[in-house]
Structure 1
């Protein structure tokens, strides 16, 4: 099963080298057939030049440039429309996600046959390092609202770091979110449309370089829009977008 890793990158010249080298070395060490797809989201710094140089040492690195429209969601979607693997993970460029956790996701998907594997930083075994206090409060409130409104138990919907089978990703199209609300759209649509998922504890470490691209004040209404969209689909779509399961073959008596 070939793994694709989609990474959006905007002005990440300081972080991207460490992230990609660590990711490649980890996946190669575990013998996982993979490609690393980085979408340069029209960066204004030297991100593209750094990526082009890294292609000389990382054979599985594929570089895209999204000229526009730009934004986190658009950059991720650009990669999700172009990956070649049997499954695909969204991974952050700032090294906040742990490549070893991705290996756990991959093996969990193989072992269980799940349509998706989601991480949780807040369940037993999960871990956060240097998580900003205000961001943590907002995160926990947002995830509580999502759980209550959607009637789910999963507690880390806003975490972008997730793994999906190709069929799952195709089944949750079309994508709507141009910004960070895509992190909520993908898992909620997978749940609403009947795709199975497993949850694996994962870790998160605050970035060492650069600035976070998430602007909390700008994202509230966008998250709420996607939440309402998924809620409406759940209760009023009458299963029109549900995962199609193969019907058992008819038994012909002789």
Structure 2
């Protein structure tokens, strides 16, 4: 029998969290999947905690709002099963698809529900923002990423514990988890899922969280493949240098040539810094591997298996 801990972060979700738990239990019971429901109440100011205690197997309470990512971290650390599923408490995710994700997690390191539909697409502004972040993420990871920050996914506790120190404690938890897995050559599999209109008011602050996501993606490139970031910076400088030299060649004066030399020098300097960052990668990877060895030695040796 498969065993799974389902971690559900909840902030002021008294109206919807009970329905989510009931739906999760029904679908997992229908597929003979043993489970533990973990609800992390993240500084809620309504009746979420009382509702959670009526329906969950384990309730973790943050006295203050620490953020989406920290809620997931608390739940993952406290979970008793090695297989972890996460979903939201606002009824936006189709939890009837959880058994399929759990089954696929026997073959892949992480399985993600890629959101589709008009509710997910939202306004043109949101669509453009997601497109830009998806392209940057795919450039960073070198892989196709249908949905960078879906909140419905399944993975193993023993694996994600290795990356918790570098995974965001905020809204970008799922973004950093995805990039950490991909940059470390772990398998991430996507299946399409519907995405429903949420119950209650969204907790997402689009401008702040978008800027934070951009920062996270930039940090991921610097951490795992820094030369890509420096290529992005050097490419427009090199193009500007070429244009200036071309203008100089057709007789537009020495000023264009001097500007071209300045742009070219800047491009070379940026790439030199990039190569230096690449040269330091082996040392950083060695230090990280030493840290992971320490984590593995301190992990519990008897987590519930999936058999």
- Give the TM-score category using the shorter length: 0.7 to 0.9
Please state how far the C-alpha of 1:140 moved relative to its aligned partner.
2.6
Counterparts of 1:89 and 1:108 in 2: how far apart (Å)?
12
Q: Which residue of 1 aligns with 2:150?
A: 159
With the length of structure 2 as denominator, give the TM-score of the two structures: 0.70
Q: After superposition, what is the alpha-carbon deviation per residue over 1:196-242, rounded to whole angstroms, capped at 9, x for unaligned?
A: 222222221121x2111111111122112221222122124434457
What is the alpha-carbon root mean square deviation over aligned residues? 2.0
Counterparts of 2:55 and 2:155 in 1: how far apart (Å)?
26
| 1:210 aligned onto 2:200 | yes
Greater C-alpha Rg: 2
Counterparts of 1:66 and 1:38 in 2: how far apart (Å)?
11
The count of residues paired between Structure 1 and Structure 2 equals: 231
The correspondence for 1:150, drawn from 141, 149, 152, is 141
- Which of structures 1 and 2 has the larger relative contact order (alpha carbons within 8 angstroms, sep 6+)? 1
With the length of structure 1 as denominator, give the TM-score of the two structures: 0.83
The correspondence for 2:218, drawn from 219, 228, 250, is 228
Unaligned runs of 5+ in 2: 226-277, 294-307
Counterparts of 1:3 and 1:216 in 2: how far apart (Å)?
32
Unaligned runs of 5+ in 1: 56-60, 122-126, 245-254
* SS of match in other structure, 1:81: helix
| 1:83 aligned onto 2:79 | yes
Q: Which residue of 2 aligns with 1:120?
A: 114
Q: Which residue of 1 aligns with 2:176?
A: 185
The correspondence for 1:108, drawn from 100, 104, 109, is 104
* Structure 1 residues 73 and 211, CA gap change in structure 2 (3 angstroms): same
The correspondence for 1:97, drawn from 90, 93, 96, is 93
Counterparts of 2:197 and 2:131 in 1: how far apart (Å)?
17
* SS of match in other structure, 1:38: strand
Please state how far the C-alpha of 1:80 moved relative to its aligned partner.
1.6
| 1:44 aligned onto 2:45 | yes
| 1:72 aligned onto 2:68 | yes
Please state how far the C-alpha of 1:149 moved relative to its aligned partner.
3.2
